[in-house]
Structure 1
């Protein structure tokens, strides 16, 4: 008798526990993009729903002018991918996405907004613009209350070392808008301001852990939007720094990969060889090319695989979201040469389809004008159309430093300026390359020229010419 009771109890427990698990399956914590707009050129919206046990679900909408094209599960049960078709006559409004299994249902509210026709009127850059580069954490501390955010992986500041956070923020930038005008600045390029919730070296912004949120130690999305609005009132454009090659290791999509194909895998940690020349070198080995493109930038920066279509859609939509939401004027593309180049062309073409006036320039930290020009827009070399407006002109940077630090020779010293300019025929629009004398990755120009004020003035004069 006792045995029968114990077995029955066990069976009853199994049934109850099974039902409990089934009932708890539908949990949706977050959806990206957080909202979207009607009347976009591309009528397809790709959504990622974050949660747990998102399997065996029926998905429905209570909005008739939107159709579900696809609802698919991936290797991880923490995500559900939805592709929606937004009809031309769709209305801007909130609607419900219902996820249902046999026992339970969960409703997610989503919003389609109207586009603001007053935005994007003066976007783009040209030769008249003077760009000022800011690393937000290192510029000015306008709000000491966000210096330390409890719960972040690096919840302290330490100005005694360059590797830790120093406390700068978006409010500090807002407080200096008059200063930028006094300098004659017409465009601000900010290193990435999105969340970098990494245990170490989170100050620089290039290990992003949330592509839709400003890092709370810098401010928030509303403050970023306010900053852009105030800069625009001062006739200062905003350049957003975008990163495709890698995510921060603490990003949820890395901690719990939707499927294994989102990143490049190696048997052991393999770092990129940093040789972009391999992409166009006719004698390069396939292994070295793969090591360059698929190797990781660092242990905490997983290398993303843009052969994955879901990842492609995620990053393209993220780029469009920031432009539409924040009124961005230009994109600087970090580590441009490293991701799959077919995707980078597709990304640029997709974004340009929505915003033809957006200026895009790519970081091309390479050696040699022909190598640099291979990545530029136009079709003068074998790469084909990249849809870029310009590239960072490292060749002119090298030449200016050579001019000021080396003795004159047939090809050295000031002569290098001539030889760089003489090869502008390699570009479709050489005047759109972005010239500079230093940046956040390089030693300060004044130190490179041994703090010689005369040389400093010469370098600035060449830059401004």
Structure 2
């Protein structure tokens, strides 16, 4: 009887603890971090009525909010060795209950991790549409929306295991880094595959797998000398996030008297010296969408929460970079602090921000140490931004067969004339398309020659190339006519029962078609050459004004040079090499790595219409 009573009392104590502390976040941390102050978010029914005590650890601050279900406890971890300690919750100076908390040992040299850079080629996937490695998690009891592959906007079942299963494909293609759109839980009832409306920042969506699966993905990629980039969302959460349902403070999110207020999306108001306050607020504080409450990064509790969460994922999963969604919609002072905190913790890490603007000066404003930002004493500390103006050119330029003052290849040339605006031109992310744009092969109607010209430019100019899954097999998709689902089609062969498997070469049964193989073989050849072409990674760019819609530029270092020719004219063109003496120097010969043909660069060079050449000079 006595044993049963002890068991019962123990069970009651556990139940009481669980009732009072539903969550502590971060769920664990690490010893020896650069930032020594750790904010613990403690959540439970009426938890704020308790005081907190931790033996052997200094508590800097206990912060209560208007919501009694929260306590924010800031502790000093300086000098604390790895191990587990107890957080005591006191009522009238007596311990009501305790909760264990662990500081783990960090990976060796974790703070010196090297992020992605211009030696990399980033491959972007939407995991729900890439490959289904585990059909058992297509739907999950903890999430509302169930798998339905018949719906373009539904969940299709792609997951982390599917990515792991095809890492060899990515490695063989020549990709060195993987950017996956978000994998954290998104429990919206519809359109949840999108995963930008997140409902739990410490949990991988169970339809993609588990936290351990994500950690395993990074580990498997590192074995292949590949890097993993997480898509991080600071600007908004999902309407189903548990904290949105029980806000710690009213100003945890941006509130509007009329309820929902959509952002005006005018990011120029962030630096426009003539902007009205109402318009600036309308951009930063307006909601991105009805299911995406706008987070208030000027709230120090929230800012600390998302900063620690981002660092937690880097440390836990062993990440190599972030791509930050809608970077320029955040409170700019808050997001700058967030970015700096991460880069202070990991000085060689890399973060690229989505700054979807159409003017180089406006984009350059957001890159770290920008002289433009310095005009109003702003420094984002953001190492990299996405080159949307180059993307704007790529969307049209190869359909302009006849060059003119403002048509054709001059659009590419003009993009690079503004490189002086950027503090670090090698740290720009270049792309012909992504998950929010029409497919590049749709724009060019499946014309492989136009694809080759576009990707030659992306793969060989300054910066970090990014390609979108399926472009390398000629996948099509028109967002304007058929919606987002059309540009986010399933990769053929990623699902059991698919009639065709584009992960396999054309000489395999049900493998790539001849047309798909032509796209793939070009991409593979150039990317695998690029891996070891250091002159492309960090060499200088020398460009020539396009004549007759032919664009010529060089990537060069003291000991190495590559000449790139893009003939966007429908007709063959003969180039007088005398004009290019500055770039050709004393080189006599070269090899076009696309065709493996030898080129005498002391004589006129003839290039076929609508083709490109990548001539490695010798």
The two structures have a TM-score, normalised by structure 2, of 0.69
Distance 1:234 1:277 in 2: 41
Please report how far the alpha carbon of residue 256 of structure 1 lies from its aligned counterpart in structure 2 after TM superposition: 0.4
On the 8 A contact 2:373/2:379 being kept in 1, the answer is no
Change beyond 3 A, Cα 1:56–1:251: same
CA–CA distance in 1 between the matches of 2:220 and 2:18?
Answer: 45
Partner of 1:259: 249
CA contact (8 A) 2:113 2:349 kept: no
Deviations for 1:335-383, whole angstroms, at most 9, x for unmatched residues?
Answer: 0001110111111111111100101111011111111111112232035
Deviation at 1:399, TM superposition (A): 1.3
Counterpart of 1:394 (choices 381, 388, 392) is: 388
Structure 1 residue 451: Cα displacement: 1.6
SS at match of 2:324: strand
- Verify: 1:186 aligned to 2:176, yes or no: yes
Deviations 1:195-248 (A, max 9, x none): 111112110111111111111000001111111000000011000111011011
Q: Which runs of 5+ in 2 are unaligned?
A: 1-15, 461-618
Aligned partner (choices 62, 68, 71) of residue 62 of structure 2? 71
Shift of 1:104: 7.0
Find the counterpart in structure 2 of residue 29 from structure 1.
22
Q: Does structure 1 residue 421 correspond to structure 2 residue 416? A: yes
What is aligned with 1:447? 442
> Is 2:269 aligned against 1:278?
yes
Q: Are residues 33 and 181 of structure 1, via their aligned partners in 2, closer, same or farther at CA, if it must alter by over 3 Å? A: same
**Structure 1 stretch 260-269 or stretch 114-123: which is displaced more?**
114-123
* Aligned ranges 1:44-59 → 2 under 5 Å: 44-59=37-52
Which structure has the bigger radius of gyration? 2
8 A Cα contact 2:321 2:351, kept in partner = yes
The 1-side partners of 2:280 and 2:149 are apart by 39
Say if 2:444 and 2:450, in contact at 8 Å, map to a contact too. yes
Q: CA deviation at 1:26?
A: 6.6
Aligned to 1:10: none
Aligned residue for 2:195, secondary structure, equals coil
For 2:61, what is the secondary structure of its paired residue?
strand
1:332 aligned residue: 323
CA distance in 2, matches of 1:276, 1:462: 28
Question: Structure 1: any 5+ residue segments left out of the alignment?
Answer: 1-22
Mapped partners of 1:272, 1:162: distance in 2: 26
Within the candidate set 220, 225, 247, 1:230 is matched to 220
- TM alignment of 1:205-244, pairs within 5 A: 205-244=195-234
**What's the CA shift for 1:24?**
9.7
Rounded Cα–Cα distance in structure 2 between residues aligned with 1:206 and 1:270: 18
SS in 2 for 1:332: strand
- Please give the per-residue CA displacement for 1:262-306, whole angstroms capped at 9, x wherever unaligned: 111112221001111222223322211111111001111000111
User: What is the aligned-residue RMSD (CA, Å)?
Assistant: 1.6
1:290 to 281, 290, 293: 281
Whole-angstrom distance in 2 between the partners of 1:119 and 1:168: 30
Alignment of 1:369-408 (within 5 A): 369-383=360-374, 384-406=378-400, 407-408=402-403
Tell me how many residue pairs correspond in the alignment. Answer: 439
Q: Give the drift of 1:312.
A: 0.7
TM-score of the superposed pair, with normalisation by structure 1: 0.91
Choose from 329, 342, 352 the match for 2:343. 352
Partner of 2:308: 317
1:435 positional shift: 0.1
